[in-house]
Every structure is written in structure tokens, then in C-alpha cells.
Amino acid sequence: MLATDMPKLIKDAIIREQRSFFWSSGRDDGGGSCAVAWKDVCRPVEYGGLGVLDLKRMGWALCARWAWLRRSDDSCPWTNFPVHLGRHVEALVYAATTATLGNGTKLLFWSDRWLAGQSIADLAPAVVAAVNPRVIKRRSVASALPENAWIRDITGTLSTEASIQFLHLVDITAEQELHPGSQDTLTWNLTESGSYSAKSAYKAFFQGSTFSPHHNSIWECWSPLICKIWHDILSKLNLLGYMPRANESFNDWFATAADNASPAMQKVLLWFLVVVSVKLGRPHIVHHTVELMEK
């Protein structure tokens, strides 16, 4: 999974073997036995999945380790080799790391987040747009700050917006000082220790997913019951299919939902309304709900 740009054909073949093992005990049935979308199976348990590793995201997370070691460990003999990690990995490393300025030899002036957790690209994007991409990838802070050498990296005529950002950038960089006696340090913001971990990198790719508040209750159960409850929640208990329509009364909505629901769904609807009624201080809703379900 550390291989970059793995051919899609190979990825699909591996995932196909995973799915057939998971759903049909190794029989290749063309995906006909899959009860839940594979992308949902591969979500972490706290986001409603089964915690099966997503090969694509795990590959990105492991490749991020290369980028981390290249910047934080000089003992690796391959650190100066050109390695293409892809935009997803580069975006993760950029978002997950902040730099502390030392002698400035390891930090890139234009792209690293060395200004109180921000980068030049964050503060002056219009100015960065006027810099050659090759220069952005090799200009260090140590070579850029003395005598404002970074100004010579800017080419062409600056727009009004870029000129304002440029003046702001001059003031900011004038306040920065190099510390020849100390090394630049890189901090991984996703862990308490400040060091890279594959787990934190992997879970970062699921940021923005909907949190599953019931995952602890599910995973405390006996294994067969875990699978049943999880499957019911993802497939049979899809609440989006039971949302009331506009101008639909509570009685009509609940009667329709209860009629169309499986027994498991009926129990979930009942307990859902019990919780809501308790929070609203309206216990009569529970009695009314039971009467509707008995019908």
C-alpha cells in the first residue's frame, strides 16, 4: 500500500477479493451478495462502518509517512530523492503539520506553515501566484530572509490586490529572525505527541463524516448481534426514508413509517420518539405512539 499511483486494475482486484471474502466466504459472485456498499463497510466504527481498512486511504496515510520523515529525520538516505506522493498526500501533510523556525534550512519559504501556523500561500496567495512553481519547491527560509532575497522570486507585474499583500508580507517577514544554533522542527498536529502516526493520518481522511452516536452500544454486543444491528442501521433503518413530507401530520407519517418498516425499524422508531418525548417533557407522545403501533 506504500506504492504510489498503484494501477486501478490492481486496486479493484484486491477490493474484489476483500468483498467476496467478507460477503460470500471467498466465492466470486460478481458482487451480488454485498448487502452494504463497500465504502460504508470501510468507514471507521465511530462513523458508522465496520472498521475494515480502506486501501486507498490507508495507502495515502502510509505515504504521508515518507513526507514526514523527509522533513523530520535526516538519517534517512532517500530524503533527497524526488518522490511523487500525489495531491491527496501533500494536502494531508500540509494541513496536519506546522513548523517552528530555527536556522531555516529545512523549511520552504513559500509553502511551509512557518508563520505562526500559517504559510505565505495563506497570507498572500496573489503574490505566490507570481512565483515560479520550481522556486516555490526549493526556496528555503534560510536563503529567503537575508536581504529580502525572496522578493527576487516574484516575476511579472503585481495586481492591486497582490501589491497590498506584498506590502503586508514585507512587514511580516521583517519581524522573523533565524536562529543559527537550533534546528527547524515540524509538528504533527493530529497527535498529542506531535509525531506522525498512521492511525491519525488514516482517520484524517474521514474528517467531515457523520459521527455515529450508537457505535459504542453496537460494538459492546456479541459478535453476531453486532453484524445484525449494524446491518439494520445502515440498510433497513435508513431514517431518510422515514422523514415526514411537507404538510404531513404526525399520525399519518408515523402510521406510514410503522407499516412500511421492519420489526427492527418499528422498535427504533418507538425508542426514538420515547427519547424525543422525554426531552420535550411531553410523555403523552409515548402513549399515543404505542396506540398507533398496536393498530
> CA-CA distance, 194 to 200, in Å (whole number)?
11
Comparing 119 with 252, the larger pLDDT belongs to: 119
Question: 15-33 pLDDT, tens per residue?
Answer: 888 888 777 766 666 656 6
> CA-CA distance, 138 to 81, in Å (whole number)?
13
Give the bridge partners for 188, in sequence order: 97
Mean pLDDT of the chain: 78
Interhelix angle for 8-24 vs 55-72, to 10°?
A: 130
Comparing 250 with 184, the larger pLDDT belongs to: 184
* pLDDT at position 188: 93
Q: Is the pTM here over 0.85, yes or no? A: no
Residue (of 104, 148, 150) closest to 127 by Cα position: 150
Burial (CB count within 10 angstroms: exposed 0-12, middle 13-18, buried 19+), residue 82: exposed
What is residue 19's three-state secondary structure?
A: helix
For the cut 50, the answer to whether the pLDDT of residue 240 exceeds it is: no
Within 10 A of 20 (CB to CB), how many other CB atoms are there? Answer: 18
Task: Compute the average pLDDT of residues 184-193.
Answer: 91
Comparing 227 with 57, the larger pLDDT belongs to: 57
Residue (of 193, 207, 208) closest to 68 by Cα position: 193
- The rounded Cα 37 to chain-centroid distance in angstroms is 19
* pLDDT at position 38: 81
The dihedral through the CA atoms of 48, 88, 151, 101 has a sign that is: positive
Long-range contacts formed by 38-47: CB under 8 A, 24+ apart: 40/234, 43/206, 43/209, 44/203, 44/206, 45/212, 45/215, 45/218, 45/219, 46/211, 46/212, 46/215, 47/206, 47/209, 47/210, 47/211, 47/212
Comparing 229 with 59, the larger pLDDT belongs to: 59
Query: Highest mean pLDDT: which of 17-21, 56-60, 159-163, 244-248?
Result: 159-163
Task: Compute the average pLDDT of residues 142-164.
Answer: 92
Question: For cell 525572496, what's the residue?
Answer: 150
Reading the block at residue 108, the C-alpha cell is 520552504
Query: Highest mean pLDDT: which of 109-118, 207-216, 258-267?
Result: 109-118
Task: Compute the average pLDDT of residues 32-48.
Answer: 79
